[in-house]
A and B are shown apart, each in its own frame.
Chain A
Amino acid sequence: MARATITYTHNPQTGKREWHIDYQSAADATMHEHESKHRALVRELVGALDSPDLEVDRGQARQPRAPAAAQPEDPQRHPAQRKPQ
């Protein structure tokens, strides 16, 4: 079963907000399926992706913040971040 780890980080002092969306596809998913489903998930979660005040990164998987998060070396995990402002 596919799994998503969604992290919302905010800082009341600086006003920084960040959404971090990790996606782990089902074991039998192809790279293409993984890509497209991750993209769809990000779009679903942070709908206004075309907004000029958004910065979307697709980078290396990072250290998990939650105990239940997957290991960063997992090749099927590609985080997408949204950082308004």
Chain B
Amino acid sequence: MSKSYRCRVKVDLKERVAARDAVEYELDLGRILGKKEEAALLRQKLRAAGGVEQDGKIALEIGGVRVEVDPDTGQVRAEVEAGRAVEHAIDEERQVYNVRDSAEQAHRSAQAAAEQQARSALEAKKAAVQNELDGQVRGRLGRAAPQIVRRLREVRAQVEKAAMERKAARLGTVVARHESEDKATGDRSLTLEVELPD
């Protein structure tokens, strides 16, 4: 004879969904000075731009994105991360019909069914959240990319100008220095007049 039972089932599943997007490129310094000297200049200029040194690299926040520059290689890595906790809980009483076994077995099978149901629901939620977060990180990186490139170009220009001045001073006597900006084109120039020894 089969019986029916009312069983309380309780499941609480929680997982974290993470998304990450990154771009890498090389800063391509002018190589006016030696590699080591230019790396030191880059490190100095990045710090002046608000960078913080971590494990030999300089980390900056540009447009809400973490950007890491390796001054020794000029390698740039911009990375965006996002994460969110996803959960699905079931806490309810269920009627279990046509049970030939004990109440304990009825409860076990009701609990197992609830766990399976919660797992499926959680996986569906995770997929939707993953999709949303992937779009978010791609969007954030895409929006920040022009700002990152522009800011690092400024830093590169500062390094190259400093390198040029240093090199010019080694070649002779710098007798004039002039900086200018062409408003129409956006070109910025540094001109040095150097008297060279015979």
Binding site for B on A (CB under 8 A): 1-17, 19, 26, 41, 44-48, 51, 53, 65-69, 84-85
Cβ contacts under 8 Å, B160 to chain A: 8, 10, 17
**How far, in whole Å, are A84 and B153 apart by their CA atoms in the complex?**
13
Tell whether, in the assembled complex, residue B30 and residue A65 are in contact, meaning their CB atoms are under 8 Å apart: no
* Contact call B187/A9, Cβ cutoff below 8 A: yes
CB of A3 within 8 A of CB of B193, answer yes
Chain A CB within 10 Å, residue with most, of B28, B154, B175: B28
Question: Which residue of B is nearest A15, CB measured?
Answer: B153
A13 with B196: CB separation less than 8 A: no
Instruction: Choose, from B51-59, B80-88, B178-186, the stretch at the interface.
Output: B178-186
Looking at the assembled complex, report how far the CB atom of B148 sits from the nearest CB atom of chain A, in whole angstroms: 12
Among B149, B172, B188, B191, contact of A11 (Cβ-Cβ < 8 Å) = B188
A67 to B186, CA, bound (A): 20
Question: A12–B193 contact, CB under 8 A?
Answer: no
A45 with B190: CB separation less than 8 A: no
Q: Are A68 and B178 in contact (CB under 8 A)?
A: yes
Apart from A8-B190, A48-B31, A68-B178, 18 more pairs, CB < 8 Å: A1-B195, A1-B198, A3-B193, A4-B196, A5-B192, A6-B164, A6-B191, A8-B191, A11-B185, A12-B150, A14-B186, A15-B153, A45-B168, A65-B178, A65-B191, A66-B191, A68-B176, A69-B193
> Using Cβ atoms and an 8 Å threshold, which residues of chain B touch A4?
168, 171-172, 193-194, 196
What's the Cα separation between A66 and B190 when bound, in Å? 9
A17/B157 in contact, CB under 8 A: yes
Residues of chain A lying within 8 A (CB to CB) of residue B180: 65-66
Report how many residues on chain B are interfacial, defined by Cβ distance under 8 Å.
Answer: 35
Query: With A4-B172, A41-B171, A68-B176 given, is the CB distance from A10 to B188 under 8 Å?
Result: yes
Contacts of B32 in A (CB 8 A): 45-47
A8 contacts B187, CB within 8 Å?
Answer: no
B192 touches A11 (CB 8 A): no
Q: How far is the CA of A10 from the CA of B192 in the complex (A)?
A: 15
A46-B192 in contact given A8-B164, A12-B186, A13-B186 (Cβ < 8 Å): no
B161 at the binding interface (Cβ < 8 Å): yes
Q: Which of A10, A19, A47 contacts B187 (CB 8 A)?
A: A10
A19 and B189 CA atoms in complex are apart in Å by 9
Instruction: Report the separation of the CA atoms of residues A11 and B156 in the bound assembly, to the nearest whole angstrom.
Output: 11
Cross-chain contact B30 with A46 (CB below 8 angstroms)? yes
Asked whether A7 lies within 8 Å of B189 as measured between CB atoms, the reply is yes
